[in-house]
């Protein structure tokens, strides 16, 4: 094939050498223009493209860069995030990289093909010496090795091979059949610029192989080696006996493994069908390895393997208590489940869904539940998954196909009844490759998961004995159909007292054990823990608290090592020492001041809002200025659509409520601002706060100090409770407006809880 003088260039970590195929993964966003160019003509199979592939290690090199000209055999676009394309490239010949012709729309360099591999170069005696050395090591290796198969040669006698084939073919055969091509070796082989260099590399590699073979040879014990006597000649071009023997050995092993797997009859029949197809296949056929991997994967699945479950109520209770503080709802539900299973062992496990803010122990309690039931545990993170096939797998005929995450998890734990944690179920989203939630329906539906069919294995697998637990931060993001299939348990954020208990009894002993500081006595006082929680963390759970406690241990470790001669053995951490460890950087630095300063101000009200890390005080500031235009409203502070609607409702309600001419709202421009403008805010709960701020603004009355409120406002002046499923106690602070104002004693809202 003619190699052009210039080629599009890509840099890849895997190394392509001539005579080999390589599957390369390219990210679409990084190679858009090149892939567009390649994909455009790919449909037309007659015009296959050629590209230059350079090892990534040479990215910075300016000269003496060797690459491989590759012929693109196929391109497959995968709908993943980020989008990827797999290209299958056949290595044709080496080239020297010359100057860059263009960088746009993609990199093209001029190249110089290296074609001097046909014959050895140099003096005749040097050539003869090199050739003789190669022949010697080759014959040595072939004589003593029992296992080597020599595709595509039809003889096993090395002397006959050397006589009948060109030197380059023999070298090629050694590379393909004998040498274990590690990336380092492949790089070395690629950089050989003539046959002499390549032969020297191969000689070294064959010598190493000979040493390995000798080390592992079963004949070593006796010191005897069989003299190869049979010459396998096959003029028809079919496989020689040696290959047949090793191939059939491989197939025999597979057949034996199928029998040992003791599959049920229908599955066994289907696998045998695939196996018979494999037997008919030429081993060079690209599908051969696909079928082989498929059969091996399927027979290794735990079709009949079950771990013995522990149904001991007392033990389970102890394990749960030992690892997690509180969480009574979860613990009770698990103990109920165990009790029911004791009475009826055939009963299926519930699909529990733990909903709660980050760091409240959803993931870790699932692991503890698995321990208490003596089930294997596997966590699957669903965050960011946007493809149906991530759950259900790809058909085996796709390039790079593999099973979905459920079957992969089952394969990993090698049991049919593990506890699988589907973490962050609310963070999956629908992408171009289908809706992963729809695929999960089949997994979580007790009626369907008895015969779950993954696209890769394409056989029904029984998931009915798997115990599924899912976790999410926000129930609103879980599709209704999935929600219906699960029993939802809400885990609320911890109170200050609970956090102190968790830190004292669980986190500190855990960190202490992990850091092995047995000889040093460290006491973190309760006031210090309280200080960390209140001033250095801002969260509903305890993850950040755990991190902060860990920082204390790092600090002490450094101090111990630095002052080793002092042999300090006792450390007491008080709120004062926290200043040295964390500095003065507290989480609510300045925010309290803002609240205090806002009290008794006209047009300012204090709201309460929900965030994933717990309740929060949200100021609402309003101001008015004269305007020629009617009803002008400015809303700032990254407010969302629902918040804007709340402001409009509030303004309209005020207008309806005010007596004629008492309030000339029309000639004012009203500005509503939500401080901390860097954070997006939305939701209806600020309704009452906005009304109060505006009433204060229009009637010039300050609100009573230090009163905060939350609640949705309706156009009729009703205040609705905030029905958030997170059910945090903070939400139920609703104050009537006559409570808020000092002078304004009208009872203007009706509570419709
Ligand atoms: N009640 C508790 N008792 C003891 N440790 C706890 C408790 N709650 C949380 N923790 C600890 O807090 C850390 C964080 O917990 P975990 O990772 O399970 O949180 P999560 O709720 O799954 O968070 P996310 O939603 O971010 O995944 C863990 O080290 C865990 O041991």
Residue 215: its pLDDT value, please?
60
361 annotated as ligand-binding? yes
Closest by CA to 110, choosing from 20, 13, 5, is: 5
Point out the domain boundary residue: 441, 471, 490.
490
pTM for the predicted model, two decimal places: 0.59
Are 331 and 320 in contact by the 8 Å Cβ rule? The answer is yes
- What are 449-493's pLDDT values in tens digits? 888 999 999 899 999 999 999 999 888 889 888 999 899 999 888
**Pocket of ligand 1 from Cβ distances under 6 Å:** 324-327, 356, 358-364, 471, 473, 502, 506, 541-543, 546
Gap from CA of 14 to ligand 1 centroid (Å) = 40
Residue 676: its pLDDT value, please?
79
Residue 379: its pLDDT value, please?
95
Edge-to-edge strands of the sheet including 419-423? 377-381, 419-423, 467-472, 352-355, 487-490
- The reply to whether 368 and 246 lie within a common domain is no
Residue nearest to atom 30 of ligand 1 (CA): 361
**Is cis: bond before 82, omega within 30 of 0?**
yes
- The reply to whether 605 and 703 lie within a common domain is yes
Residue 690: inside a domain, yes or no?
yes
CATH number where 505 lies: 1.10.8.60
- The reply to whether 616 and 692 lie within a common domain is yes
**What pairs with residue 52 in β-bridges?**
9, 69
Closest by CA to 384, choosing from 430, 424, 428, is: 428
Angle between helices 124-144 and 195-216 (to 10 degrees): 20
- The reply to whether 729 and 641 lie within a common domain is yes
3-state secondary structure of 183: helix
Ranges of residues in the chain with a pLDDT under 50 are 43-45, 219-220, 223-245, 724-739, 742-753
- The reply to whether 206 and 264 lie within a common domain is no
Residue nearest to atom 29 of ligand 1 (CA): 543
- The reply to whether 599 and 690 lie within a common domain is yes
- The reply to whether 410 and 482 lie within a common domain is yes
Number of domains forming the structure of the chain: 6
Rounded distance between C-alpha atoms, residue 724 and residue 83, angstroms: 37
**Is cis: bond before 603, omega within 30 of 0?**
no
3-state secondary structure of 374: coil
CATH number where 29 lies: 2.30.130.40
Gap from CA of 421 to ligand 1 centroid (Å) = 14
- The reply to whether 350 and 450 lie within a common domain is yes
Residue 688: inside a domain, yes or no?
yes
Closest by CA to 619, choosing from 587, 590, 651, 591, is: 591
Closest by CA to 448, choosing from 435, 439, 436, 458, is: 439
Residue 660: its pLDDT value, please?
56
Residue 730: its pLDDT value, please?
33
Q: What is the ipTM of this complex?
A: 0.97
- Of ligand 1's listed atoms, the one at least distance from the Cα of 365 is 18
CATH number where 451 lies: 3.40.50.300
Residue 1: inside a domain, yes or no?
no
What are the CA-CA distances from residue 135 to residues 141, 171, 202, 457 (Å)?
A: 10, 10, 11, 46
- Of ligand 1's listed atoms, the one at least distance from the Cα of 473 is 25
3-state secondary structure of 51: strand
Gap from CA of 321 to ligand 1 centroid (Å) = 14
Residue 235: inside a domain, yes or no?
no
- What are 348-401's pLDDT values in tens digits? 778 899 998 889 999 999 999 999 999 999 999 998 888 888 899 888 877 677
Point out the domain boundary residue: 473, 490, 507.
490
Rounded distance between C-alpha atoms, residue 354 and residue 489, angstroms: 5
Residue 306: inside a domain, yes or no?
no
Domain hosting residue 573, numbered range:
496-582
- The reply to whether 269 and 345 lie within a common domain is no
Are 541 and 357 in contact by the 8 Å Cβ rule? The answer is yes
CATH number where 647 lies: 3.30.230.10
- The reply to whether 197 and 292 lie within a common domain is no
- The reply to whether 319 and 467 lie within a common domain is yes
**Any idea what DSSP says for residue 387?**
B
- The reply to whether 255 and 197 lie within a common domain is no
**What pairs with residue 453 in β-bridges?**
460
Residue 60: inside a domain, yes or no?
yes
Closest by CA to 591, choosing from 565, 617, 610, 571, is: 617
Point out the domain boundary residue: 88, 113, 138.
113
Rounded distance between C-alpha atoms, residue 64 and residue 77, angstroms: 33
Chain centroid, CA 701 distance in Å: 54
Rounded distance between C-alpha atoms, residue 108 and residue 226, angstroms: 55
3-state secondary structure of 54: strand
Residue 231: inside a domain, yes or no?
no
Rounded distance between C-alpha atoms, residue 332 and residue 629, angstroms: 62
Residue 595: inside a domain, yes or no?
yes
What are the CA-CA distances from residue 360 to residues 377, 506, 534, 685 (Å)?
A: 19, 13, 17, 24
Tokens of 215: 């080390």
**Any idea what DSSP says for residue 78?**
E
Closest by CA to 624, choosing from 691, 670, 673, 690, is: 670
Gap from CA of 734 to ligand 1 centroid (Å) = 31
Count Cβ atoms within 10 A of the Cβ of residue 747 and give its class: 0-12 exposed, 13-18 middle, 19 or more buried. Answer: exposed
Looking up tokens 């109170």 gives 495
């Amino acid at each position: 094939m003619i190699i052009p003088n210039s080629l599009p260039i890509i840099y890849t970590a895997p190394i392509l050498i001539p005579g080999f195929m390589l599957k390369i993964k390219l990210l679409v966003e990084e190679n858009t223009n090149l892939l567009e160019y390649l994909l455009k003509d790919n449909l037309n199979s007659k015009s296959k493209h050629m590209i230059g592939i350079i090892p990534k290690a040479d990215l910075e090199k300016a000269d003496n860069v060797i690459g491989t000209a590759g012929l693109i055999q196929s391109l497959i676009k995968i709908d993943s995030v980020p989008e990827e394309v797999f290209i299958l490239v056949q290595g044709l010949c080496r080239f020297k990289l010359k100057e860059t012709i263009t960088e746009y729309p993609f990199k093209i360099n001029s190249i110089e093909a290296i074609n001097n591999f046909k014959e050895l170069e140099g003096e005749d005696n040097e050539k003869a010496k090199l050739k003789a050395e190669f022949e010697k090591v080759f014959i040595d290796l072939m004589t003593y090795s029992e296992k080597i198969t020599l595709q595509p040669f039809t003889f096993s006698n090395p002397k006959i091979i050397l006589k009948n084939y060109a030197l380059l073919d023999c070298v090629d055969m050694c590379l393909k059949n004998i040498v274990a091509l590690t990336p380092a070796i492949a790089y070395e082989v690629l950089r050989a610029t003539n046959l002499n260099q390549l032969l020297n590399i191969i000689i070294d590699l064959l010598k190493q192989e000979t040493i390995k073979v000798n080390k592992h040879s079963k004949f070593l014990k006796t010191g005897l080696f069989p003299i190869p006597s049979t010459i396998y000649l096959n003029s028809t071009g079919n496989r020689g006996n040696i290959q047949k023997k090793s191939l059939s050995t491989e197939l025999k092993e597979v057949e034996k493994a199928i029998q040992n797997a003791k599959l049920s009859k229908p599955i066994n029949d289907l696998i045998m069908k695939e196996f018979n197809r494999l037997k008919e296949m030429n081993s060079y056929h690209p599908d051969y390895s696909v079928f082989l991997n498929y059969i091996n994967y399927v027979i290794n699945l735990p079709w009949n393997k079950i771990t013995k479950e522990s149904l001991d109520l007392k033990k389970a209770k102890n394990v749960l208590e030992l690892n997690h503080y509180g969480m009574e709802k979860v613990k009770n539900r698990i103990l109920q489940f165990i009790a029911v299973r004791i009475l009826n062992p055939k009963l299926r496990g519930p699909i529990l869904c733990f909903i709660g803010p980050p760091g409240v122990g959803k993931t870790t309690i699932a692991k503890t539940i698995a321990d208490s039931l003596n089930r294997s545990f596997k966590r699957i993170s669903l965050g960011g998954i946007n493809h149906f096939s991530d759950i259900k797998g790809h058909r085996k005929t796709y390039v790079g196909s593999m099973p979905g995450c459920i079957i992969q998890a089952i394969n990993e734990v090698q049991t049919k009844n593990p506890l699988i944690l589907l973490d962050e179920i609310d963070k999956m989203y629908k992408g171009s490759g289908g809706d992963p939630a729809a695929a999960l329906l089949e997994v979580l539906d007790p009626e369907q998961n008895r015969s779950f069919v993954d696209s890769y294995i394409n056989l029904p697998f029984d998931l009915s004995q798997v115990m599924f637990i899912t976790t999410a931060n926000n129930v609103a993001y879980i599709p209704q159909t999935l929600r219906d299939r699960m029993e939802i348990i809400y885990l609320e954020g911890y109170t200050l007292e609970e956090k102190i208990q968790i830190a004292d009894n669980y986190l500190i002993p855990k960190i202490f054990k992990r850091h092995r500081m047995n000889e040093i006595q460290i006491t973190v006082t309760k006031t210090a823990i309280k200080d960390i929680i209140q001033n250095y963390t801002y969260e509903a759970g305890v993850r950040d608290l755990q991190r902060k406690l860990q920082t204390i241990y790092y600090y002490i470790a450094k101090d111990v090592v630095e002052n080793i001669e002092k042999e300090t053995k006792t450390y007491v951490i008080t709120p004062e020492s926290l200043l040295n460890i964390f500095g003065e950087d507290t989480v609510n630095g300045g925010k309290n001041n803002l609240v205090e300063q806002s009290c008794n101000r006209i047009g300012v009200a204090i709201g309460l809002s929900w965030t994933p890390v717990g309740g929060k005080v949200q100021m609402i500031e309003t101001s008015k200025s004269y305007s020629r235009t009617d009803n002008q409203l400015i809303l700032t502070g990254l407010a969302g659509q629902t918040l804007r609607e709340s402001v409009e409702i509030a303004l309209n309600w005020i207008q309806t409520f005010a007596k004629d001419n008492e309030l000339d709202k029309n000639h004012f421009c009203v500005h509503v601002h939500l401080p901390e403008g860097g954070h997006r805010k939305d939701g209806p709960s600020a309704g009452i706060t906005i009304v109060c701020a505006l009433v204060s603004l229009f009637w010039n009355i300050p609100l009573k100090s230090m009163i905060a409120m939350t609640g949705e406002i309706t156009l009729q002046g009703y205040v609705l409770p905030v029905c958030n499923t997170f059910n945090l106690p903070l939400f139920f602070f609703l104050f009537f407006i006559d409570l808020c104002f000092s002078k304004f004693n009208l009872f203007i809202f009706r509570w419709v809880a």
